[in-house]
Amino acid sequence: MLDVARIRRDFPILQQEVNGHPVAYLDSGASAQSPRQVLEAVRRYYETSHANVHRGVHTLGERATEAYEGARARVAGFIGAGDARGLIFTRGTTEALNLVAYAYGLRRLKPGDAVVTTIMEHHSNLVPWQQIARLTGARLRFIPLRPDGTLDLSDLDRLLQGARVVTLTLASNVLGTINPVAEIARQAHAQGAIVVVDGAQGVPHLKLDVGEWDIDFLAFSGHKLLGPTGIGALWGKPELLEGMDPFQFGGSMIGRVGLHDSTWAEIPARFEAGTPNIAGAVGLAAAVDYLESVGMEAIRSHEEELVDYAWRRLGEIPGLSLHGPRRPRASLISFGLDDLHPHDVATALDSQGIAVRAGHHCAQPLMEWLGCPATSRASFYLYNTLDEVDRLARALIETKEFFRDAAI
């Protein structure tokens, strides 16, 4: 059992009122809040150790490098990666997925090769592959969905024929579906394809081990796991990364530079051109420390309780439709309320201090599958409470009544 009251005291932003109500932050799926331990780690870094990394021979440069490389080892350990050389810091999931698409896909795919993905992908795991397909002549193939929003894997063998890359999300940011990534990886490898996983919605909530799952690449974002914005990571199997050319070029990623040609640094530096987000990496490591000090299993069971309760409470509201599978699900729920526009719903909730997201959630093909242009989405994390779920349910009933009365 989590001591949520104690956890909440670590989050300064949750201590305030919004629109005259205590804030109920139900939008961690977009960006989670940071505990003061993360904020302090970033501040301490700037106050005591800031300088550019890998370059200076002075003391502060060494401290900064130590902090940055220490953060790399810490974040690699969090996802079960024994070899920290496989952990490349990026701006976030989007940049990490573009890195794989361009540094691996663009160089390796040929006309007729298949890239297998799903129709539930966030645009950041779809649009880069569309571009690579266009540039290489490869084709995209999509694993379809069953009516409950889980993947229909009945035809996977056929879809995997000729596949070089299988790329999918661990957890859908709209449906909440958790995909059987390890099982898909087994089948994909049997067909000779590599497996890329978008962990943006999964890594913050699920204890995972890249070695055990035998995936090839994993992308995730710091700001969804209590860390700062502008930092995230791509983890890749070191033996794959070692065989890849860089994605971006410039300082820090070179071996030797001549006027007409250059050689590349070893991994991970090869994929980190330019001055990295050092403070962000330090903050991300502090976020990982915080999550582990609370315990990923304990966080997961707390979120399961919240999401189960929310599913039940919201499901009791007439005219409210819930999207995605009942269980297991990630820590979020997408819903529609009568024929109200999700933006109106989110605005009404905001007037009561409740923050939810509304829109297409960067998943337009999935919206088409759902048959609606947008949904509202409540997403939960370790600091949310059952009381906030009750507030959400009550506010939705009031919103419904308000719009009904307004229509009379």
Binding site for ligand PLP (CB under 6 A): 30, 92-94, 122, 124-125, 169, 173, 198, 200-201, 221, 232
- The active-site residue out of 362, 366, 393, 396 is 362
Cβ-proximal residues to 354 (8 Å cutoff; 6+ apart), any chain: 21, 24, 26, 388, 391, 392, 395
Q: How far is CA 259 from the centre of its chain?
A: 40
Residue with smaller CB distance to ligand PLP, 169 or 331: 169
Between 27 and 113, CB nearer to ligand PLP: 27
Q: Nearest to residue 281, comparing CAs of 53, 12, 98?
A: 53
Pairwise CA distance, residues 333 & 320, whole Å: 12
Under 8 Å between Cβ of 189 and 237 = no
- Tell the smallest beta-carbon distance from residue 31 to ligand PLP (Å): 8
For residue 266, the 8-state DSSP code is P
Give the Å distances, CA to CA, from 341 to 172, 330, 355, 393: 22, 24, 16, 17
Q: Measure Cα distances from 386 to 5, 42, 146, 205, 408 in Å.
A: 12, 31, 30, 18, 34
Q: Can you tell me which residue has the tokens 């920290």?
A: 84
Smaller CB distance to ligand PLP: residue 232 or 336? 232
CB of 93 to ligand PLP, least distance (A): 4
State in angstroms the smallest separation of the CB of 122 from ligand PLP. 3
Q: Distance of CA 212 to CAs 82, 181, 209, 367, Å?
A: 11, 11, 5, 33
Residue 14's SS3 state is: helix
* Nearest in space to 11 (alpha carbons), one of 34, 31, 41: 34
Which of the 8 DSSP states describes residue 114?
A: E
Closest CB to ligand PLP among residues 101, 348: 101
Find the shortest distance in angstroms from Cβ 120 to ligand PLP: 9
If the CB atoms of residues 232 and 246 are measured against ligand PLP, the closer one turns out to be 232
As measured in angstroms, the least distance from the Cβ of 351 to ligand PLP is: 25
To the nearest 10°, report the CA torsion of 229, 233, 234, 235: -160
Closest approach, Cβ 366 to ligand PLP, in A, equals 11
Using the minimum distance from each CB to ligand PLP, give the nearer residue, 93 or 384: 93
**How far apart are CB 219 and ligand PLP at their closest, in Å?**
7
**Backbone region of residue 384 per phi and psi (left: phi > 0; alpha: psi in -120 to 50; beta: other values):** beta
Least distance from ligand PLP to the Cβ atom of residue 60, Å: 30
* SS3 of residue 357 by DSSP: strand
372 classed as catalytic: no
**For residues 54 and 123, which CB has a smaller minimum distance to ligand PLP in the complex?**
123
Which of 198, 272 has the CB closer to ligand PLP? 198
Question: Rounded distance, CA 299 to CA 290, Å?
Answer: 11
Helix, strand or coil, per DSSP, at residue 342: helix
**Run of H or E residues at 263:** strand 262-264
**CB contact set of 146 (below 8 Å; sequence gap of 6+):** 152
So which residues are the catalytic ones? Answer: 362
